[in-house]
Amino acid sequence: MDREVGAFAARPARGEPFRVQAARFDPKGPLQLGEAENAVEIARLAGAERYATDTMQKAQLDLNNAQAFLQGRSHDRRAAETKAREAAQMAEDARIITRRKVCREQLDAERAVISGNAPRPKPISAPPDQAASSRPSRFARCRSPCHQSRAGA
């Protein structure tokens, strides 16, 4: 059921376990190139193509340039390593931007529900008298990673 995206398995269907395969890269090539490939794939799996498009495109361009330096006539290993490091940093930046934007969207959705601007989800099979008691309090603390990072600060 999983479709391959680079060396990593794509996000599985709901209810299936998430499996990630180890990335494979040339052991004779620069380590930085393998790190950059991993970083770009991790950012892509995090959704950076949607939330941090420009940064992700720069990371992919740097990765392609690093690979081209190794495969080109000059076989410039030093330039390839430099471009690979830049690609890894760009991919990490894209992943961080993505995480922040996803958390912001979650918080905005929660605030909309609390303020009454968004429809509340209806209980599926609970009787009306149990529906009110099973609904979480409006002031209950969210257990999302966004709120946990703020609680520690």
What tokens appear for 149 in the block?
A: 């990072």
| pLDDT for residue 25 | 72
Enumerate the H helices of the chain as residue ranges. Answer: 31-46, 48-51, 53-71, 77-115, 128-134, 145-152
| pLDDT for residue 116 | 79
45 lies in which domain range? 29-119+138-152
Whether 146 is covered by a domain: the verdict is: yes
| pLDDT for residue 73 | 81
Whether 129 is covered by a domain: the verdict is: no
pLDDT tens digits, one per residue of 33-76:
999 999 999 999 999 999 999 999 999 999 999 999 988 887 88
Whether 133 is covered by a domain: the verdict is: no
Whether 101 is covered by a domain: the verdict is: yes
Q: Based on the structure, what is the number of domains in the chain?
A: 1
Q: Is pLDDT of 99 > 60? A: yes
Mean pLDDT of 80-90: 96
Mean pLDDT of 79-87: 95
Whether 88 is covered by a domain: the verdict is: yes
* Cα within 13 Å of Cα(110), Cβ side: 17
Q: Is the pTM of this model over 0.75?
A: no
Q: Supply the mean pLDDT for the chain.
A: 77
Whether 39 is covered by a domain: the verdict is: yes
Whether 41 is covered by a domain: the verdict is: yes
Q: Is pLDDT of 32 > 90? A: yes
* Cα within 13 Å of Cα(116), Cβ side: 0
Mean pLDDT of 98-113: 92
| pLDDT for residue 2 | 42
Whether 11 is covered by a domain: the verdict is: no
With beta carbons less than 8 A apart as the criterion, state whether 53 and 91 touch.
no
